[in-house]
Structure 1
Amino acid sequence: MTTTATPNQSLRGHTNQVRGVVHLPDARQVITCSLDGSMRLWDLERGINVWVSYHVYDAKVWSMALSPNGKTIASGCDDDKVRLWNVETREVFAEWAGHGHVVSALCWSGNGEQVLSGSWDGTARVWNVKTGETVLTIETEHRHVFAVIYSPDATKIATGGFDENAVKIWDAKTGELVDTLKHLIQVWSLAWTSDGKKLFSGSHGSIGIFDTTTWQQIAVLEGHTHLVYAITLFQNQRFLASASADNTTRLWNLDTNLQVGPLLQHEDFVRCAALSVDGTVLVTGCQDSKLYTMESRTTALCLSAFLGAGLRKPQRQR
């Protein structure tokens, strides 16, 4: 029988769906974005909202990604633009136009020189961070692009979306199609192991695992009962956390491809999830506009020594 747990704390401030969350390098602060049009910085130790910004644009924020050096946030909105934020000054210093619909997904290249964006206009774009120019546009044939990701060596791009229901693999320099990994239903989330050998895709009720040398599916993580909106890998690449429209977040052991520990129960769809660099803090954002945190010493042990099979059940917030 699967046990359930509840988050350590819930943080209120947003007034609409939380669509993105990233941990800052200090592991005690996160930045979130929401369909309420705001981006917010949270202090997790004090459980408070440190700052909020609405003033740059009157648009819903659908996506965000943190640069590899932790100094810049890329955000995507329903005014079809991508913006760059300075994390320290909390100001926008670049604004890029080119998409024709909601910018629903973002990813930085490993060297921080390019940003990859996906849109409901069916395209993926590669932007030069210094010049703000689009250096590559990929007509994906997805009606809407829901997920984009670079391979660790930045030679490949993966896109996932709706119509076609597939993960598509592209050459990152030429934009040529390398392979199509068909799914029965739309693909909402993607993750790539740091060694580049495995690609994960979140779809309806399951997470596919693909061998990137053959592009064949080698395993499936089964347990969710609805769309998997987000997947995030632990630093040691041996555990994965997933967030779903079934109102749960789950932890998976990638050595056995089985769920471990209790499932983390929420009151509404879980739209995004992010692990701190040390793997001890999992933060989730939900359709109910709340941010949730879960901390576990056992999780840290799993990362450092592969000890313990699951998560310690957290205490309920009083």
Structure 2
Amino acid sequence: MIEIKTQHAIHSVLFSEDCKQVLSGGKEGVLRRWRVEDGQEVGEPIQIERAEIFAAALSPDRSRLVCGLRTPNSTKETARVRVWDAQTNEKVRDIRGHTGTVFSVDVSPDSTKLATGGLSDGVFIWSMTTGKRLIGPLKHDGTVVAVRFSPNGDRIATATGHDKDTKSIRIYDSDNGKQLLVIPCRFWHGISSPLAWSADGRQLCAASYSEVKCFNTSSGTLLNKWSAPGGGSSASIALAHNQKFMVIRAYKSLSFWDTSTHRQIGIVIETTSPVWSISLSPNDDCIMTGEEDGKSPSGTFVTSYRART
């Protein structure tokens, strides 16, 4: 296990393609790369002036890095989404349209579209090539805490939470923005995504407080639900790249579940501090977490664990 001590809250962690580095971003508005082997910082950090990083995603082709931001005194002219070249760290473009914090970003499987969701503007879909708005805003009644493309990219699922009586999952056609389904499901405002699609796109799992619920994506029927260790109001899911298991994060616990049987596998990892964000390495061997340091109000850990499956 490797622990990396930082001085600011870490809202998002991502692995590099070769699993040798991890990228972190958070309250200080700086993207940093760390070597997984020894926890040492690598290269020059990427500074984002007067912004807090709330969400980050790598395009599936690993060519682009996208961040959702919180900036003070924002308007529609303020960039709340920024895209970088993942290899050179050079800024590719700013994307404008959101007026509130962007809590979630996701890139389509073919790396051509970007979905973003946030505090007050609902959901947008953008061209990854040009930055042009393709769809949106798709209005929601509350804060959008997650957006996720389906495995073939034809749909997006959104999670709305944090606001009274506005908690739901919605599924849209990603080509025309048509709403296909609304599923009542309560969410709290978390950092990592509480949604995960099955490999065939027929099911959607949602981490709802300390429960995990699995729904049919055509009818919205609840297929299964179970409790995850850890409790607490905020939970999230990291789906393995091989689609065979998922990691459920609930407060200070990480548990592992078979995606076919929904049975718990392996051990439960108990962390010493509340977990803000989780990421699985591309080879599914390691989990990286961003943890709040309970002993120091300003400190957090970025911690690497071996995945137990």
TM-score, normalization by structure 1: 0.85
Matched residues in 2 for 1:236 and 1:102: separation? 32
Matched residues in 1 for 2:146 and 2:61: separation? 22
Residues 185 and 60 (structure 1), Cα distance of their counterparts in 2 relative to 1, 3 Å cut: closer
Task: Give the share of equivalent positions with the same residue, in percent.
Answer: 22
Q: Which residue in the other structure is 1:266 paired with?
A: 271
Matched residues in 1 for 2:171 and 2:189: separation? 13
8 Å CA contact 1:187, 1:203 repeated in 2: no
Q: How far apart are 1:126 and its partner, in Å?
A: 0.7
Residue pairs, 1:87-236, within 5 angstroms: 87-162=86-161, 163=163, 164-186=166-188, 188=190, 189-224=194-229, 225-236=231-242
8 Å CA contact 1:122, 1:143 repeated in 2: no
Q: Which residue in the other structure is 2:85 paired with?
A: 86
Secondary structure class of the residue paired with 2:18 = coil
Q: Which residue in the other structure is 1:237 paired with?
A: 243
Residues 212 and 121 (structure 1), Cα distance of their counterparts in 2 relative to 1, 3 Å cut: same
TM-score, normalization by structure 2: 0.87
Deviation per CA, 1:32-70: give whole Å up to 9, x if none. 111121111111012211145353322110000001111
Q: How far apart are 1:237 and its partner, in Å?
A: 1.9
Matched residues in 2 for 1:215 and 1:40: separation? 40
Unaligned runs of 5+ in 2: 72-78, 294-299
Matched residues in 1 for 2:8 and 2:256: separation? 26
What letter is aligned with 2:282? V
Deviation per CA, 1:214-261: give whole Å up to 9, x if none. 3211111312411344211123322110212x2111111234323223
Provide runs of 4+ in structure 1 moved above 6 Å: none
What letter is aligned with 2:63? K
Matched residues in 1 for 2:189 and 2:211: separation? 10
The alignment's C-alpha RMSD in Å is 1.8
Matched residues in 1 for 2:197 and 2:44: separation? 31
Matched residues in 1 for 2:198 and 2:108: separation? 14
Matched residue count:
289
Unaligned runs of 5+ in 1: 1-7, 300-309, 311-318
8 Å CA contact 2:275, 2:292 repeated in 1: yes
Deviation per CA, 1:67-105: give whole Å up to 9, x if none. 111121100110251111112212222111110100110
8 Å CA contact 1:66, 1:74 repeated in 2: yes
Deviation per CA, 1:102-160: give whole Å up to 9, x if none. 01100001111111101101411111122211111133323211000111222211110
Residues 84 and 123 (structure 1), Cα distance of their counterparts in 2 relative to 1, 3 Å cut: same
